[in-house]
Amino acid sequence: MLVSMNQVLKSAEDRQCCIGAFDTPSLEILMAVLKAAEKRNEPVIVQHAQLHECEIPIDVIGPIMVRMAEDALIPVCVMLDHGEDIAYVKKALSLGFSAVMIDGSSLPYEENVRLTRAVTDLAKEYNADVEAEIGIVTGHEGRVYDIRDVSEAYTEPELAARFVKDTGIDALAASVGTVHGFYATKPKLDFERIKRIRELTGVPLVMHGGSGVSVEDTQMAIRCGIRKINYFSYMSNAGVKAVKKLLEEQDVKYFHELANAAILAMEEDVLHAMAMFALD
Ligand SMILES: [Zn+2]
């Protein structure tokens, strides 16, 4: 069933664990994520990132995401990831998305507040929840980043608290040592910072760039207050590896054989990620 972000984050809070949020810029990825969540019988968040508009338009994948969420046997939140402008946020909401993330993190503080505030006002009309970001989680899916580049972009706990108050958001994406995409060097998470931000803001925290963080560090971050982890790159790459392997081993004639092999491998990877997020 289609549910709100606050509902799934509340269930994570009750269980003191974390919900996986997966970008699904293809039907194969969407199927893999929902199959894994149903297998584990746990809530899940599926997301469409505005930067994936060029891979697949929200007009195409959005209605499929909403329909599959409604039909799912488990609670599913359908969410916009890294919304960049009001028009796109509005499009997601009008398609029936139950939550949106607006990313004004590269803007000066006051402008970030203004943009985020406009989104929280708009989301209210649709009864949808809002995540926003302060501090910058750098990187982009599909490129490799050096973790040393990001230390100056960490979220300041006091400013984060002010931001939550000024905007009325439901969840906060904080920069605590992760980057998007693949890591060039081992990430170093700032656990004290996570605890302090959680303490001062009082809202569920979101960690972006979940791929490539060790099980130990991921679970420590969850114990410090992370309630949603955005995880994409490793899952997507698991699909690529499966397709490569199949092409090396067999003389494949039909595309759907590649698609199905990718779905199976990505489902396995999501099962693994969900177990880690559930502190299993
Ligand atoms: Zn992100």
69: which 2 tokens?
């969420």
For all residues of the chain together, what is the average pLDDT?
A: 94
Distance 207 CA to ligand 1 centre (A): 8
Number of domains in the chain: 1
- Show which residues are catalytic: 81
Query: CA-CA distance, 134 to 246, in Å (whole number)?
Result: 42
Domain of 265: which CATH number? Answer: 3.20.20.70
Question: Residue 173 Cα, ligand 1 centroid: separation in angstroms?
Answer: 8
pLDDT band at 142 (very low <50, low <70, confident <90, very high): very low
d(CA 209, CA 218): 11
pLDDT given for residue 200 in this prediction: 97
Note the pLDDT tens digit of each residue in 38-91.
Answer: 999 999 999 999 999 999 999 999 999 999 999 999 999 999 999 999 999 999
Amino acid at 46: V
Going from the Cα of 280 to the center of ligand 1, the distance in angstroms, rounded, reads 24
Residue 151: DSSP 8-state: G
Residues with CB under 5 A from ligand 1 (ion): 208, 230
Nearest Cα residue to 211 out of 235, 228, 241, 186: 235
Write out the H or E segment, with its range, that includes residue 145.
strand 144-145
Q: List % helix, strand, coil for the chain (3-state, nearest 5).
A: 55, 15, 30
CA 66–ligand 1 middle distance (angstroms): 21
> How far does residue 246's CA lie from ligand 1's centre (Å)?
31
d(Cα 78, Cα 99) in Å, to the nearest integer? 6
Please give the residue range of the domain that contains residue 265: 5-277
- Residues 5-31: tens digit of each pLDDT: 999 999 999 999 999 999 999 999 999
**8-state DSSP, 251:** -
Rounded to the nearest whole angstrom, what is the distance from the C-alpha of residue 101 to the centroid of ligand 1?
Answer: 9
pLDDT digits (tens, 9 = 90+) for 144-153: 444 445 556 7
Task: Find the mean pLDDT for residues 222-245.
Answer: 97
Percent of the chain with pLDDT over 70: 95
